[in-house]
């Protein structure tokens, strides 16, 4: 017997965290019974498990892809407003890939796409402390006190962020680029952190998951990842 969210993640539907949301929303059934408790367990070899009415498929080949997301694309697999979605930029594959983490509509950069829910869980869960590196552009350099506040943790949405690492990459009149490294993944976290110290982000680009770098991958382009690439995430 295994936890239902783990079974769903291993089947490549989504991450464990998202699977928990699906369960709570009543989108998952086991042997015809709707399940809403995330702690529910099932036998993946015997139980008939469905998500949105579709039975889980046999475990499929795992695919890993790094996309350089351009601004103007939504980090979802569908959008009721008809906006461009990140999967529009991907090749036609039989596997259904989902994004690992979010980049908001106006943000850009490294976006890992996969059907490996277990890997996604390790990257997204704070306890694994996988670092995500961003470049944030703003008009002025925050004060030393503000930078120290961001490094030590700042309260946003009623919760204090974990410590971050910051360094100034470029500075000229009317424009400053700051590199920030965090291991959390709250919605719009980097933007909210700088907003909290009075320096709204004008441009935000993710440049790395752990040691997996975006590098010179062109905007809107992608590349498939191998074992060495995946090992770099955890380096």
104 has catalytic annotation: yes
Q: In the chain, which ranges are E strands?
A: 2-3, 28-30, 33-35, 41-42, 49-51, 54-55, 64-69, 98-99, 108-114, 132-138, 155-156, 159-160, 165-172, 175-182, 203-209, 212-213, 222-224
Q: Whose CA is closest to 60, among 123, 114, 125?
A: 114
64 - beta bridge partners?
114
Which two three-digit tokens encode residue 48?
Answer: 């008939």
CA distances from 192 to 76, 101, 111, 145, 169 (A): 21, 16, 20, 17, 20
Which two three-digit tokens encode residue 50?
Answer: 């469905």
CA distance 87 to 140: 35
CB 176, CB 136: distance < 8 Å: no
Name the burial class of residue 159, with classes exposed (0-12), middle (13-18) and buried (19+) by CB atoms within 10 angstroms of its CB.
exposed
Query: 31, 52, 79, 104: which is the annotated catalytic residue?
Result: 104
CA distance 32 to 218: 46
For the annotated catalytic residues, the residue numbers are 104
């Amino acid at each position: 017997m295994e936890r239902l969210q783990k079974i769903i993640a291993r089947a490549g539907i989504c991450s464990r965290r998202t699977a928990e949301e699906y369960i709570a929303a009543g989108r998952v059934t086991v042997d015809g019974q709707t399940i809403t408790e995330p702690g529910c367990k099932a036998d993946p070899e015997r139980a008939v498990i469905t998500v949105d009415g579709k039975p889980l498929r046999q475990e499929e080949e795992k695919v890993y892809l790094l996309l350089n997301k351009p601004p103007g694309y939504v980090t979802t697999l569908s959008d009721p407003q008809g906006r461009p979605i990140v999967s529009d930029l991907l090749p036609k594959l039989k596997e259904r890939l989902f994004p690992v983490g979010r980049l908001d509509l106006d943000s850009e950069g490294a976006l890992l796409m996969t059907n490996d829910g277990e890997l996604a869980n390790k990257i997204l869960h704070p306890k694994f402390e996988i670092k995500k590196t961003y470049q944030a552009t703003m008009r002025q350099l925050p004060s030393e006190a503000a930078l120290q506040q961001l490094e030590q943790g700042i309260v946003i949405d009623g919760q204090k962020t974990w410590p971050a690492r910051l360094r100034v990459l470029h500075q000229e009149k009317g424009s400053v680029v700051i590199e920030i490294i965090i291991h959390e993944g709250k919605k719009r976290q980097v933007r909210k952190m700088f907003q909290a110290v009075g320096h709204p982000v004008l441009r935000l680009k993710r440049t790395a998951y752990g040691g997996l770098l975006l590098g010179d991958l062109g905007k809107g382009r992608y590349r498939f990842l191998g074992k060495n690439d995946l090992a770099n995430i955890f380096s």
